[in-house]
Chain A
Amino acid sequence: MAEEKGKKMKRSEANTVGSTNASKTASPAARPAGAAAKASEGSLNLQNLEVFYDKFRAVNNVSLNIEPKKVTALIGPSGCGKSTLLRALNRMHETIPNATVKGTITLDGIDVYGPLVDPVRVRRVIGMVFQKPNPFPTMSIFGNVASGLRLAGASSKGEIAGIVEESLKKAALWNEVKDKLNEPGTSLSGGQQQRLCIARAIAVRPEVILMDEPCSALDPIATLKIEELIRELRTEYTIVIVTHNMQQASRVSDSTAFFSMGEDRGGYLVESGLTPQIFTAPTQQLTEDYVAGRFG
């Protein structure tokens, strides 16, 4: 239902350029994976983005450029639509009935909401890590990481095992779990579970990883580990992270976008820029007040 509606959304004229660019750059023949990785970098561009739940406009006219291979933090008071915006990026909001999107989101120039685009594929390119660690309770640690690969059609056991190990290493979890890969994912501690979810997300080798307050359910030490991990992962992935925690945003992100809630309770973008600039020399009074902890 919602997925059909999503496709029917109006697109603003200005951004049809993106799609035509893409068809030029996309070479039809299958290329080796390495070449493909170079050709596309994972830069996201949002133009006049609006997200609706039924008639309620949760996100109001956001235009934003998300740099490739950088960490972008979305901050703002609760209810300002930053999680909703994040979910619109990989079309996750479509799992909620009656959620619709207006405006454009392009990934490396390709319209994510284009008529030919299958949302299922979008989520393989743009992975997601959620607020609460959600390892699949009926799968082992290994199975959790391998599940996305198996969905994508990987059948060679050696290949899967290789990618699982590589992903767990990247997620800084390998040393802790290598001897108990067959135990259920839910047997791990909260922080480990969240790193397992990150490993699970990178196993399908996405270009972008969305993180929706990934540390809000974790203790400070586990949080620190995840933050270290995020800084390491940005060399390979574009990371968009929603956070409530100002210090976290300033620690891990390269750019920051500050959102607030308008009078119609819909969220809008106040300003965005390099993180040091947002935190030390914001152009808007509202940003300064929020960053200084005066509200929110």
Chain B
Amino acid sequence: MSLLRFTAADLVKAPSGRDARRRRADRFMRGIMFVTAAIAVVPLIGLILYIITNGLPFLTSQLIVNSPLDIEPGISNAIIGSLQLTIASIILAAPVGIAGGVYLNEFASPRVSSAGELLIDVMLGTPSIIAGLFAFLVVVPALGFSGYAAIVALSVLMIPIVMRTTQEVIRLVPAGVREASLALGIPVWKTTIFVTCRTAASGLLTGVVLAVSRGLGETAPLLLTAKGTNDTEILNFGSTMNAMPIVIYRYSSSPDSLLIGQAWATALVLLVIALTLNVLVRFRTVNNRVA
């Protein structure tokens, strides 16, 4: 038979022919895979270095404290605007997302539950520009370009994030915890809120933080709704509002070098916030699918 049978004596011979090729292929592919892993990471380093070197010189107190209309212009209204819009949206999205996630896991029939899964999947896959377009088509004609429209758009993006994370962390709560509480005669609603949700509290927070992080970074839906403005009014959701991503987008194509610099500096601020929120989340429950 032509097929070589290996014996112990063959072990000490240097690999030849086919075996040598197999060994080379193994080493080669290891190298390739290392390179691909590097490719996945290098852009991040390049990006961070670029944003820091260009943005840091423009990151002054003027940028943060002054409004765009001041003689030494800043982006204070964008920072405040971003905070207002994100907080208002999460106040809407968090209860809906958490309640919906809890319902799908704890109470829904298998059929409703799988329909809910599809709903969340589709919403998670909805491009942010579509969410913006929705608010643009529905809210803007009634209220004009406004904070309200932006809140609607951001909520559409945030709700599925909170809902999915909620579902996943609630699933991790052991059935025994619930049963122990119910066996004490505690009603379902109290068990759900004070036992199940309490147990999963840090996970629920993770979902909220992920959604906030998403909301702070979104640009396209804000362009189509809040539009951006130089006004500095606070808590005026009825009119156009400013936000950091809008500033970055608009200033980046400006011919004024100060404004371009401010775009970099704003990007630096946004980058730091996004990375900080993300690192905070990493130390808790990790959820790749949503992030």
Contact across chains for B5 and A205 when beta carbons are under 8 A apart: yes
Residues on B with beta carbons closer than 8 Å to the beta carbon of A26:
9-10, 12-13
Distance between Cα atoms of A12 and B7 in the complex (Å)? 24
Min CB–CB distance B33 → chain A (angstroms) = 14
Decide if B6 is an interface residue (CB 8 Å cutoff): yes
Min CB–CB distance A206 → chain B (angstroms) = 8
Chain B's closest residue to A115 (CB) is: B12
Chain A's closest residue to B26 (CB) is: A120
Q: A110-B11, A110-B12 are in contact. Are A118 and B6 (CB under 8 A)?
A: no
Distance between Cα atoms of A34 and B12 in the complex (Å)? 20
Residues on A with beta carbons closer than 8 Å to the beta carbon of B10:
26, 121, 125
Distance between Cα atoms of A153 and B4 in the complex (Å)? 9
Binds A, one of B15-23, B219-227, B254-262: B15-23
Min CB–CB distance A27 → chain B (angstroms) = 8
Distance between Cα atoms of A37 and B4 in the complex (Å)? 11
Decide if B288 is an interface residue (CB 8 Å cutoff): no
Q: Using an 8 Å CB-CB cutoff, how does the interface string of A121-143 with B read, 1 for contact, 0 for none?
A: 11011000000000000000000
Decide if A274 is an interface residue (CB 8 Å cutoff): no
Distance between Cα atoms of A262 and B136 in the complex (Å)? 73
Chain A interfacial residues counted at CB < 8 A: 40
Distance between Cα atoms of A125 and B10 in the complex (Å)? 9
Which of B2, B5, B9 contacts A156 (CB under 8 A)?
A: B2
Considering only residues 26-44 of chain A, those with a C-beta below 8 Å from chain B are 26-27, 30, 33, 36-37, 39-40, 42
Decide if B3 is an interface residue (CB 8 Å cutoff): yes
Chain A's closest residue to B3 (CB) is: A154
Contact across chains for A121 and B19 when beta carbons are under 8 A apart: yes
Decide if A207 is an interface residue (CB 8 Å cutoff): yes
Main secondary structure of the interface of B (DSSP, over half): loop
Contact across chains for B7 and A39 when beta carbons are under 8 A apart: yes
Decide if B1 is an interface residue (CB 8 Å cutoff): yes
Min CB–CB distance A46 → chain B (angstroms) = 15
Decide if A199 is an interface residue (CB 8 Å cutoff): no
Min CB–CB distance A196 → chain B (angstroms) = 20
Considering only residues 205-243 of chain A, those with a C-beta below 8 Å from chain B are 205-207
Chain A's closest residue to B23 (CB) is: A118
Min CB–CB distance B1 → chain A (angstroms) = 6
Which of A23, A33, A108, A151 contacts B4 (CB under 8 A)?
A: A33
Decide if A152 is an interface residue (CB 8 Å cutoff): yes
Residues on B with beta carbons closer than 8 Å to the beta carbon of A151:
22
Min CB–CB distance B114 → chain A (angstroms) = 26
Decide if A246 is an interface residue (CB 8 Å cutoff): no
Min CB–CB distance A152 → chain B (angstroms) = 7
Decide if B44 is an interface residue (CB 8 Å cutoff): no
Distance between Cα atoms of A35 and B10 in the complex (Å)? 13
Contact across chains for A153 and B9 when beta carbons are under 8 A apart: no
Decide if A89 is an interface residue (CB 8 Å cutoff): no
Decide if A9 is an interface residue (CB 8 Å cutoff): no
Residues on B with beta carbons closer than 8 Å to the beta carbon of A25:
9
Q: A37-B5, A163-B3 are in contact. List 10 more A-B contacts (CB 8 A).
A: A22-B9, A111-B12, A117-B11, A118-B23, A121-B6, A124-B6, A125-B8, A125-B11, A151-B22, A152-B4
B: residues with CB less than 8 A from A are 1-15, 18-19, 22-23
Q: Ordered nearest first, which 7 A-B pairs have the shortest CB separation?
A: A26-B9, A108-B8, A107-B8, A40-B7, A33-B5, A110-B8, A153-B18
List, sorted by A's number, 23 A–B pairs whose CB atoms are closer than 8 Å. Answer: A22-B9, A26-B12, A27-B9, A30-B4, A33-B3, A33-B4, A33-B5, A37-B5, A39-B7, A40-B9, A42-B8, A109-B8, A110-B8, A112-B11, A116-B11, A117-B11, A118-B15, A121-B11, A124-B6, A125-B8, A125-B11, A159-B1, A207-B8
